[in-house]
Structure 1
Amino acid sequence: MDTPNATSLSNWPFRWHVQVVDETGSTNADLLAAAAAGAPDRSVLVARHQTAGRGRLDRRWDAPAGANLLVSLLFREIPADPHVLTQRVALAAAVACERLAGVRPSLKWPNDLLLDDVKLAGVLAQAYLGPHPAVVVGIGINVGWAPEGAAHVGHDVQPLDLLAEMLRAYDDLPEDVWLMYRDRLGTIGRRVRVELPDGMVEGVAVDVDPDGQLVVVDDAGKSRRFAVGDIVHLRIARE
């Protein structure tokens, strides 16, 4: 992986190929280019600052230099259901926050980490579909700084320490993470609004399928499954 100003740090968990840069446009874009150039499985690129970071729906993701963890991970070993990679990265990040800072984030379907019901981190996956396919999973975690209305891990945690713990947590995950993901998913039991390109659906999120689809009972009492969509937590459902 040939990235300007990149440095490799020692003492990273085994089998992870980690490089750190001071600044780049987007770690996801850089790793997708690296995938095309033959970068190995478990390549990791972390930037102290991104100038063109993006989340889902092309939302801008920015932070002061060095304050937060802005990182992308490249996977060559792609499971039959590629969404599992985003679940695994989100779970590893949540476990790392718990181990290192003593906070316990929940997950918001499909790809956010929440702390006290406000956003702590977001995950974005993109695929390289060339001769040797890969999936790049990017995550931005508010560590020492957060925008207004968001949460952060804490000023006493260093982003690179959190990354090292996240990689160790990833390696510690079971092969099948569905039950672990389901248990950590704070969307279940919530009244939600599912925002879709052609409209909106409101109801109560009651489960998540092993294939990652969110199960929502809408206001007409119909059970519906969503593979994609933007979720808004409205309020805790009451009996």
Structure 2
Amino acid sequence: MTFVDIQKLTEALVANGPYAQLSFVESTGSTNADLLADVDAPAWSVRLAAHQSAGRGRMGRAWSAPRGSQLIASVLIRPEELEHVGTIPLAVGVALCDVIPRATMKWPNDLQIEGKKLCGILAEARFGPEPTIVIGFGLNVSLQRADLPVPHATSLILEGIEFEPTTLAEQVLRAVHARLRQWETGAPELMRDYRAVSASIGQRVRVELPGQPDLYGQVTDVLDDGRLRVRDAAGADQDLSAGDVTHLRLA
């Protein structure tokens, strides 16, 4: 993948908004960590990188990919209210689904196509006088089959989805801004739209819970606060805020 035209992207997204600033680095440990460490970064700052050497996913899992094979970006916001913080990755997931054809969301924050992971999303916070939240994602764009970190991953190229890198980056970042603004204002359509692109609702699942036995059941809903509702074998609803979900297929 030829990386994006940073000058063109900055002109499109910063000169007339909606972002305050955009920076790019060839390689860094983590774009999330970069923005969290920048105490002077204004709200709606964007950090892009061609490569991350210490990228992280949920539960501290490490991940990496060849240089230029992903759209790696982080966005910094300074929300006035911190209600429903857990739905921030869901909002970014909906934004990606707005742009990527056939994409759906596996709860809570995995963008996928037909069960194959296309992108992970991670939100991290710095609390203080002015709370800061940074949301990062790494969208697999030109990963080849030999580069896939796990067999159930995929990329835009492998799925036959055509894109122009700078246009794709602009579309994704505009969609992310729009969906995060919905999150900030509590717009009810955000979670409605998440449910519409959810690949988990209706699925039989196994949920690995920290320090507890695995839960088996069927996903019946994703609540407005982002929790997953699973109906267990006894017919009782379990509302989960964390856990690793595996979609089960009938034998």
Smaller-chain TM-score bracket = 0.7 to 0.9
Q: Which residue of 2 aligns with 1:22?
A: 26
Task: Give the Cα–Cα distance (whole angstroms) in 2 for the partners of residues 230 and 224 of structure 1.
Answer: 14
Quote how far apart the aligned CAs of 1:130 are: 2.0
Quote how far apart the aligned CAs of 1:235 are: 2.2
Q: 1:87 aligned to 2:93? A: no
Q: Deviations over 1:139-194 (max 9, x none)?
A: 11111115143111127424443221012223444533010011111100001111
Q: Deviations over 1:100-152 (max 9, x none)?
A: xxx22010101101101111111111111022111111111111115143111
> 1:213, 1:226 within 8 Å by CA — same for their partners in 2?
yes
Give the superposed CA RMSD. 2.1
Quote how far apart the aligned CAs of 1:81 are: 1.2
User: Of 71, 74, 89, which residue of structure 2 is paired with 1:72?
Assistant: 74
Q: Which residue of 2 aligns with 1:104?
A: 102
Q: Which residue of 1 aligns with 2:3?
A: none
Task: Give the Cα–Cα distance (whole angstroms) in 2 for the partners of residues 20 and 28 of structure 1.
Answer: 13
User: Of 147, 152, 162, which residue of structure 2 is paired with 1:149?
Assistant: 152
Taking structure 1 as the reference length, what is the TM-score of the superposition?
0.87
Q: Which residue of 2 aligns with 1:129?
A: 127
> 2:112, 2:118 within 8 Å by CA — same for their partners in 1?
yes
Task: Give the Cα–Cα distance (whole angstroms) in 2 for the partners of residues 209 and 156 of structure 1.
Answer: 34
Larger deviation, residues 149-158 vs 44-53: 149-158
Q: Which residue of 2 aligns with 1:229?
A: 243
Q: Which 5+ residue runs of structure 2 have no aligned equivalent?
A: 1-5
Identity %: 39
Taking structure 2 as the reference length, what is the TM-score of the superposition?
0.83
Q: Which residue of 2 aligns with 1:38?
A: 40
> 1:95, 1:104 within 8 Å by CA — same for their partners in 2?
no
Q: Which residue of 2 aligns with 1:10?
A: 11
Cα gap change, 1:91/1:161 in structure 2, threshold over 3 Å: closer, same or farther? same
> 1:189, 1:236 within 8 Å by CA — same for their partners in 2?
no
User: Of 216, 225, 228, which residue of structure 2 is paired with 1:211?
Assistant: 225
Cα gap change, 1:53/1:200 in structure 2, threshold over 3 Å: closer, same or farther? same
Larger deviation, residues 146-155 vs 132-141: 146-155
Quote how far apart the aligned CAs of 1:205 are: 0.4
Task: Give the Cα–Cα distance (whole angstroms) in 2 for the partners of residues 125 and 222 of structure 1.
Answer: 30
Larger deviation, residues 152-161 vs 179-188: 152-161
Letter in 1 for 2:96: A
> 1:67, 1:159 within 8 Å by CA — same for their partners in 2?
no
Task: Give the Cα–Cα distance (whole angstroms) in 1 for the partners of residues 142 and 45 of structure 2.
Answer: 25
Q: Which residue of 2 aligns with 1:195?
A: 208
Letter in 2 for 1:87: L
Cα gap change, 1:158/1:33 in structure 2, threshold over 3 Å: closer, same or farther? farther
Residue 95 of structure 2 aligns to a residue whose secondary structure is helix
Letter in 2 for 1:94: C
> 2:18, 2:177 within 8 Å by CA — same for their partners in 1?
no
Q: Deviations over 1:30-81 (max 9, x none)?
A: 11101xx221111110110001101012112211111111111111125521
Task: Give the Cα–Cα distance (whole angstroms) in 2 for the partners of residues 89 and 106 of structure 1.
Answer: 12
Residue 10 of structure 1 aligns to a residue whose secondary structure is helix
Task: Give the Cα–Cα distance (whole angstroms) in 2 for the partners of residues 74 and 171 of structure 1.
Answer: 10
Task: Give the Cα–Cα distance (whole angstroms) in 1 for the partners of residues 250 and 239 of structure 2.
Answer: 20
Cα gap change, 1:170/1:138 in structure 2, threshold over 3 Å: closer, same or farther? closer
